[in-house]
Amino acid sequence: MQTILFSSTDPSTPENAAQIIRRGGLVAIPTETVYGLGADACNVDAVRKIFLAKGRPQDNPLIIHIAEPRELTRYCHDIPDFAWRLAEAFWPGPLTMVLPVNDCIPRETTANHDTVAVRCPASEVTRALIRASGVPIAAPSANLSGKPSTTSAQHVLNDYGTDGKIDAIIDGGECSVGVESTIVDLTETPPRLLRPGGITPEQLREVLGDLTIDKAVVSQISSDAVVRAPGMKYKHYAPSAEVVIIEGSREAASRYIHRHFVPGEAVLCFEEELPYYEGLFATAYGCEEDPRTLSAGIFAALRRLDTPEITKIYARCPTGGGVNYAVQNRLKKAAGFHTLNAEEAE
């Protein structure tokens, strides 16, 4: 069987793709963050197919996607007031809330947790698909487990091919945010940030006042540790080459990289830095001056560098808050938190 490629601009796409969801198939869906690998969140067999297709560890729960914020009450209970304030401020959009789960969501979807992660995405075609399906859609990022996330339909095709490993892909163009949603656990007070993303900690604090940052956001967690967001402990977002983050000024970083670079290695840097790496194999993922271009470009760049010929990647990482906080998190995870300060190394 061939994988069907739907266009997001074809008015019949939501209904056609919904037929696949209703009969338990897998549809890759565009969202503003990354492409997801979607299936009926209430159909145990369909959910199992997601885990199989991705090669995802069984203990890693899925996010369910809803079309309207008010649907939260169908799938969750004990919804605190600040959940509604967050929904009002950021939905539809790149925010996921973790809340106590209702019985209608099977244990396979939540990986036996007593909570469920819920998101109302901004993509119109995906919300139309959810409405047409009549069920919430469970969707992890569509990449094969451990690989950089998919931010275009082509990335999804690269991972799964066209021979029916998944039933369909809705091509909605390139994802505008480019990193996965921000995840906040609302089952404790103050709420806890489990994964930084398109909604920044500063934006969350404006609505919530206080926010705890989970330790998995800022440090490497061992694979046998008990963590709030199981996905955060796995090696993640990584191309096959070793990634090392080179900190320090532009000049110091470029001196260090030029001194150590050998053929087969690559530099991942900001547009502004490309002139420093003439003669080396260097690729830019966005402009340091415009952080949204960095989040939008990071996964495509990591994928470009995910070839067997590349043995090591020297990566430049943005500093500070805002969406840069999410970019730092993804790059540090890709590097297994391996960072080196070029100024100290001189």
Residue 16 interacts with which of Mg ion, ligand TXA, none, CB < 5 to 8 Å by class: none
Run of H or E residues at 168: strand 168-171
Closer to ligand TXA at the Cβ: 61 or 191? Answer: 61
Residue 194 interacts with which of ligand TXA, Mg ion, none, CB < 5 to 8 Å by class: ligand TXA
Among 18, 194, 199, 284, binds ligand TXA (CB under 6 A): 194
Residue 261's Cβ-side half-sphere holds a number of Cα atoms within 13 Å equal to: 21
| 239 cis-preceded (ω within 30 degrees of 0) | no
The three-state secondary structure class of 37 is: strand
By CB under 6 A, is residue 181 in contact with ligand TXA?
A: yes
Give the Å distances, CA to CA, from 92 to 85, 118, 124, 193: 13, 11, 10, 19
By CB under 6 A, is residue 110 in contact with ligand TXA?
A: yes
Among 231, 239, 248, 291, binds ligand TXA (CB under 6 A): 231
Closer to ligand TXA at the Cβ: 59 or 289? Answer: 59
Residues 46 and 64: their CA atoms lie apart, in Å, by 13
Residue 34 interacts with which of ligand TXA, Mg ion, none, CB < 5 to 8 Å by class: ligand TXA
Residue numbers at the binding site for Mg ion (CB under 5 A): 141
Count of positions on this chain that bind ligand TXA (CB under 6 A): 29
Closer to ligand TXA at the Cβ: 201 or 231? Answer: 231
By CB under 6 A, is residue 115 in contact with ligand TXA?
A: yes
By CB under 6 A, is residue 113 in contact with ligand TXA?
A: yes
By CB under 6 A, is residue 201 in contact with ligand TXA?
A: no
Closer to ligand TXA at the Cβ: 17 or 194? Answer: 194
- Phi and psi at residue 161, to the nearest 5°: 70, -170
Closer to ligand TXA at the Cβ: 220 or 283? Answer: 220
Min dist CB 126 to ligand TXA, Å, is 9
Query: Which residue's CB comes closest to Mg ion?
Result: 141
Q: Which stretch binds ligand TXA (CB under 6 A): 68-76, 138-146, 254-262, 284-292?
A: 138-146
By CB under 6 A, is residue 31 in contact with ligand TXA?
A: yes
Residues 199 and 208: their CA atoms lie apart, in Å, by 13
Burial bucket for residue 299 (CB in 10 Å: 0-12, 13-18, 19+): buried
The residue with tokens 């605190």 is 80
By CB under 6 A, is residue 183 in contact with ligand TXA?
A: yes
Q: Cβ neighbours of residue 311 under 8 Å, at least 6 residues apart?
A: 241, 242, 264, 265
By CB under 6 A, is residue 140 in contact with ligand TXA?
A: yes
Enumerate long-range contacts of 84-92, CB under 8 Å, 24 or more apart.
85/207, 85/208, 86/184, 86/186, 86/204, 86/207, 86/208, 87/120, 89/203, 89/206, 89/207, 90/199, 90/203, 90/207, 91/119, 91/120, 92/120, 92/121, 92/122, 92/127
Residue 139 interacts with which of ligand TXA, Mg ion, none, CB < 5 to 8 Å by class: ligand TXA
Q: What residues pair up with 284 in beta bridges, in sequence order?
A: 269
CB 119 within 8 Å of CB 186: no
CB 148 within 8 Å of CB 295: no
Closest CA to 153 of 122, 126, 117, 128: 126
Among 17, 63, 97, 105, binds ligand TXA (CB under 6 A): 63
Among 171, 180, 265, 273, binds ligand TXA (CB under 6 A): 180
Min dist CB 56 to ligand TXA, Å, is 8
- Chain contacts with ligand TXA (rule: CB under 6 A): 31, 33-34, 36, 60-63, 96, 98, 110, 113, 115-117, 119, 121, 139-141, 180-181, 183, 194, 228-232
